[in-house]
Structures are given as structure tokens and as C-alpha cells.
Amino acid sequence: MQKNTLAWQKLSAWGVRQLRRLLLLVFSAWLTFLLADFLFPLPTFKANQGFAQVITDRNGVPLRVFADEQGVWRYPTSKTLVSPYYLEALLGYEDRWFYQHPGVNPLALGRAVWQWMYYGRPVSGGSTLTMQVARLLDPHEKTLAGKAKQMFRALQLEWHFSKDEILNLYLNHAPFGGTLEGVEAASYAYLGKSSRDLTRAEAALLAVLPQSPSRLRPDRYPSRAQDARNKVLSRLADNQTWSPSEVADARLESVVAYYHGTPMTAPLLARRLHQEQPHQQVIKTTLDAELQLSLEQLLNDYIAAFPQGTSAAALVVDNRDMSALAYLGSADFANQSRFGHIDMINAYRSPGSTLKPLLFGLSLDQGIIHEQSMLLDVPADFNGYRPDNFVKGYSGLVSARQALQRSLNIPAVQLLQQLTPDVFYARLAQVGVTLSLPEGATPNLAMILGGVSSSMEDLVTGFAVFGRNGKTRPIRFTQDAPIAVERPLISDGAAWVTANVLREVSLSEADTQLATRVDQNIAFKTGTSYGYRDAWVLASSKNITIGVWVGRPDGTPLAGNFGRNTAVPLLKIILELMPDHLLEVPERPSSIERNKVCWPLGTLQSQQQSHWCYQTKTAWLIDNVAPPSIKDPFLTQWGSYLTQVDVDQEGHRVNPTCGVTAKRHAIAVWPLAAEPWLPKAWHRDALLPKWAKTCTPSGNDVRLKIVGLQSKTELYTSTEAPLLLNLDVLGAQGDVHWFHNGHWIGASTKPYKRALTISSVGPQRLTVMDARGLTETIEFQVLNQGG
């Protein structure tokens, strides 16, 4: 018994000594590791370093990638963002015990060494995922010393990083061939989708691809890639990671891959955001990649029919949050002959007539007009500014509605004169619509006809008010952009009335002179700059606003390039891609109702005497208010259309010099400047009472006189010798405008002589009008020679 006790004591003492030696050995190894870790620290290798900058759409689909300094495309991802199938395939095939081992798996390593010695060649790898990350972090030679270094780095990784952090490093840096690194970049490059959307078969393929990325490239060697994938599937079935039926289904899926290369969608917006945020790793835009790609192909095809040097641009914005859905700054980014590198969305160009709807809406709110107000489309001189219409000729009297639908210039300038250029300029600036004036210029009447420059971005921002109840805010291009304060430009009633006017103009109607009521949900306005340099169309519904531009980025003229001819056809194609819910019509506000108004006074029919109402129109009114007609801009003595005259007991016109008892009589008259387009019964001479025989007209009643032809004359002509008349005008001031049968045929300055050639037969009407709005008309007959 004593011997046994003594033996046990000796054994225990030996065990304690061995344990102490073991602990000392472990402690020494630990100190050695810590010292080595201090002396040979891990190279700088953090999860947010070394990535390409990726510009994505709203769903994370890469649009464009700006590679890192080495030209490598890495799209950052993480364990929580990739498909669970990929994680199962990766860990099931590469490292089942990843979450248990300390960075090195002794059993796997021992098995690999034994197989190498037995077969004389490597049969299975002994590297863990941590060791593979270590090799990516600090490459080494394939020697025993290199392997030892790799294991040391693996232990360091496990010491400094968590398991999930190590896994994320692998997901982002695993080699997939060429400049591709990381599973997300590989998934987009080979499969055209995010790694979060991988099928089991695709997950198995990407799990094995880093073993030999060049030899197994699925786009070049699909059969090799499929064999390697099936090897992964077999192992996943053997270790019961996936069920036999799941593996069988995955095997049925063929390997079909195409190399998509570095994405190049929305390149100009991507370039813009890259320049604005050069250090942001991932910039998530508001764009819809599918819509963007469709429109890029559409623009490319559309512009192919135009001469070299011509480009096009389009911007599609969701009115609900002012986020851009598509951004096409040029028609073909890679085409230098079409200046594809120039972004025409933020380039400043003449807007043509696209500002007219904004002026119309502001004029409604300011009580200057209602939609059926009477405006003048006649030759006009606004303090030295003499605009012409885009289509030569004048219409006389037009409603504000017609003037906007036909994009008439003279009425637009008349409105801007009433609102004032300063107010118009300031109100647009308040909501982010910048109008750039020529150097040294101040806001002026020419602005409304394109005498300023602006960008498509600003124009779309402004035009969006017609789908957003009169309010707007800056356009958002990135998901993290703060939502700016919403600012009102016009009331919801003015926005609805203006859009309703514009919706009546048919997109398919070739004749811009007439507006027709159509079943159309989009309100649009065209514009053309001087010299056909810029063709525009802006369009808005309740939920979407679209801007389209066609022209030459270098600013040279392009024959036939006007809004209706080149921009509208492109808009129509774009609209075909829009879902119906984006093209809804805004609801009519409760402030809008219909009522009857009368011309020439322009006010409600119910507020006028019946004999003042020469023409009745039905108008959409805001709060049932109908402002009176704008006064004649020529500022004649008949500046008001309701004039007071003195009449005697017989109703004859008199003045204070007549010495008779008189009473005041109110008469509605038309503007003198419109008389060339009015029937004779509406001329002022016909409407005003005749002068009493005992009275003489006052000196203010000056008349023009056409010299060289008398009224009621019969003239003769023949086809061989057209009729030539040499005419003159007496009593005129300023420019004299000539009208033949209601058509403007030109203007003349003093001495007001004009040669008129007439080749048609039948009744003729010749009218002249001077700068004061005074007119004179003669009617005559032209007959065939001998007829």
C-alpha cells in the first residue's frame, strides 16, 4: 500500500512537471506570437479600402464603376447582402468548420499533407477561408516557408478580426479573373445580377470560380465551369448542406454566362456624381436601371437618322418626390462626332418658348388674365422691342388659351409686359429655375421668347409645377440627397388650368396652328431657339415630368430642328415606355369652375349689359373671378374697351363745342389694332354714334388715308400681267403695317410707300395700321381682263 502511494506521488509530480512544461510552452508560444504580431503586423487591409467607386440605380444595380488605382472593380458587399445559397455553397465546399477553427484547421491540413505524400501530388486543399484571405492579404510563394507564413497571417486575422469580418473580406476580395474581385462584381459581370439574387446553381458556380478563375471562366469555358460547379454540388450533397432534390434541380441548370464588363449606364450622371463626391464609395442614385437602359437604346436609335454633330437629351422625373428616373445627357456617350461626352441636361441653352406656360400660370394668379382673356396678336412695338411670331403672320384677336396653345409670341410679350420681367425673373429664381441673362443685361421682354439661357434640369424643375399643384423643389439624383423644401410658384388652380390648356394640344397633330380636344393625359409645351439650334419639349402629368432636347451641342444651327418636328416624336416614343399610373391627370381643384365671359370687355357675362357682349366664351375660372381684358398696348385714346361718349337727344355724337344738352353713353369697342381682322360691323366707326351735323370731330380723331387707290374701285388684271399698285399712307406715325385680305404682307417706314402686286381676282381688302393702332381699310374688286 505504501509503495503504491509512493508511486502515485511520483507520477503526480511528473504530471505536474509536464503540465508546467506544457503551460510554459503554450505561454512561450503565445508570447512569441504576440511578439511576432508586433514585429510583423498585418498589412493595412480594411473592408472599406481599395474599392472601386460604384454608382448604382435605386435598387443597387451598378450603373457605372470608377475602378481603383489598380484598375480593379470591387463592388462592396457583406454577409448580410449576398444570397444565403452562396454562403452555404462557399462554406460547405471550402470550409465547413470556419466558425469553429482558430484560422487553421489541423485535421484538414493533416489530411492534405498525407494525401500529398501518398499520391505525390496535391489532392485536396488544407487551406481554410481565413488562410485564403491571408494569402490575398499577403501573397507568398508555394513553399513550406510560404505556407507557414500563410498560417501565421491566418492566426493574426483571427486575433484581430471577428469571423464575420473575415468572411466579408473574402466576399469582397476573392479573385474572379482579370480586374474582377469580390462576389458582387463577379455576379454582375458574369450573370448580370446581384449576388443576393443567385440561384443554387449560380451560387455553386461562383463558390468554385476563385480556385481557377481564368481556366473556369464561365463565359469562355462553360463546360469546364459546369463540371467544376457539379463537383461543388456533389460535395454539398455528400455533407448534406443541400438535400438530394435541391442538388438534382441545380444540376439541371446549364451554365450560361456572358461577360458584361464594366457597366456604363447613365455615364454622364455617374461622371457628375463622381466629380461631386469623389470619396463616396457607393453612390445610390434614384434612377431606374431598366428604364435608363431602354431610353439609352431608344435615343441612340433615334439620333442615328440625324446628321453628325447632332445629339439629344432626356430627363424623366417622378413628380411625387422629384427623383430622377432616367438621365440621358447625350444620345451616344461613346460617339465623339456627336459630342457624346457633353452633358446637355445641365448645359445652359436658349429655352425657346418653353417658359410661356409658367408666364401664363403666373398671369392667372396675378389677376392679369383668365384662360379666355382677349389678347392681341398684331404687329407691335414694345418700346423698341418688335417681336415676330415663329410662323409669319398675325391673327388679330386671340384668347389667352389659343395664344398659349399656338405659342404666339406677341401675346406672350404682352403678358410679360403686364407682369413685368423683373417679377417673372425673381419668381422663377425662388423655385430654382435659373435664367441666365447675357452679360450686362437685366430682365427684359425678350426672356419669354428665348432671350435667356437655362438648363434642362431647371426647366424640368419649373415645368413639374403643372403636375404638383403649383409647387416644386430641386430634382433629387441620389437616394441620400435631402428632400428640399417645397416652394410654390403658382396656385393649384393656375397649375390645373394651364395644364388643361396644354393637354388639348394633340401630340399627334402636325398642324400647330390649331388645338384640338383629345383624350390625352400629358400636358406639353414645345420650344425652338433662334436659328433652330435647340428643339425642346417639356411634358407633365400628375406623377411624371419629362424634358427632351434635340440639337447640336456646339451651338451651330440645324435646319428643320424645331420642337414639333424633332423633339415631339422623341417624346412620343418615351411615353410609350411609361406605365399608365405615371400618366394620370391631376385632379381639378375645388377653386376651379366654368362660367361665361364676354368680349371685348372680358369680364363675366352676368356682370355686363347685354349690348356690350359681342362674343361669348366659356372659361375655367379661379374662384369665379374674370379679370377684364388687358388694355390696348398701343395706348391710344381708346385705351379702355368701355368708352364714354356724349350724345344728344337723337343719339348723335357731340362734344362740348356743340352747345347742346348731352348725356353720357357707354359703348364697348374693340381694340383699334385688331380692326384689320374684324368684320366691318365691329369697327369703331360702325360702333360709335355718328357725329351730329352741327358738330365737328375733335382734333384727336385723326385718320389715316391710303393714297393711290380709292375704295369701291374695280381693277382689271390678267395672268400675263399681274396688277401692280403703287400706294402711300398719309397721317401715319411710326411703322406702318400692311394687310392684304387679312394677311400681314410687311411693314414700311416713312415715307410709307409700297408696291403691291395682285394676281388673284375677286373682292380685295387692304388695311394699314400705324404705331398708334390707327387703321384705314379700303375694299375694291379685281376682275379678269375683259371680264
Instruction: State the catalytic residues.
Output: 94, 353
Rounded to 5 degrees, φ, ψ at 276 are: -75, -35
C-alpha torsion 219→223→224→228, nearest 10: 100
The 3-class SS string of 309-336 reads CCEEEEEEEECCCCEEEEEECCCCCCCH
Q: Which residues pair with 729 in a beta bridge?
A: 706
- Of the candidates 452, 455, 453, 465, the one whose C-alpha atom is nearest the C-alpha of residue 315 is 455
Looking at residue 478, what DSSP letter applies?
B
| Amino acid making up residue 544 | I
Q: Which residue has the cell 379679370?
A: 627
- Of the candidates 456, 457, 487, the one whose C-alpha atom is nearest the C-alpha of residue 469 is 487
For 748, the 3-state DSSP assignment is strand
Q: State how far Cα 317 lies from the chain centre.
A: 5
- Give yes or no for a contact between 115 and 123, defined as CB atoms under 8 angstroms apart: yes
- Give yes or no for a contact between 347 and 554, defined as CB atoms under 8 angstroms apart: no
CB within 8 A of 50, min separation 6: which ones?
Answer: 68, 72, 74, 173
489: left (phi over 0), alpha (psi -120 to 50) or beta: alpha
- Beta-sheet pairing, 592-599 with 615-622: antiparallel
- Give yes or no for a contact between 72 and 273, defined as CB atoms under 8 angstroms apart: no
DSSP string spanning 163-213?
HHHHHHHHHHH-B-STTEESHHHHIIIIISS-GGG--HHHHHHHHHGGGST
Grid cell of 117 as nine digits: 505524400
Grid cell of 89 as nine digits: 455553397
CB within 8 A of 349, min separation 6: which ones?
Answer: 453, 454, 455, 529, 533, 534, 549, 551
Pairwise CA distance, residues 73 & 75, whole Å? 6
Q: Which residues pair with 762 in a beta bridge?
A: 782
Query: E strand or H helix at 573, and its extent?
Result: helix 568-576
- Beta-sheet pairing, 374-377 with 323-328: unpaired
Looking at residue 612, what DSSP letter applies?
G
Pairwise CA distance, residues 261 & 185, whole Å? 10
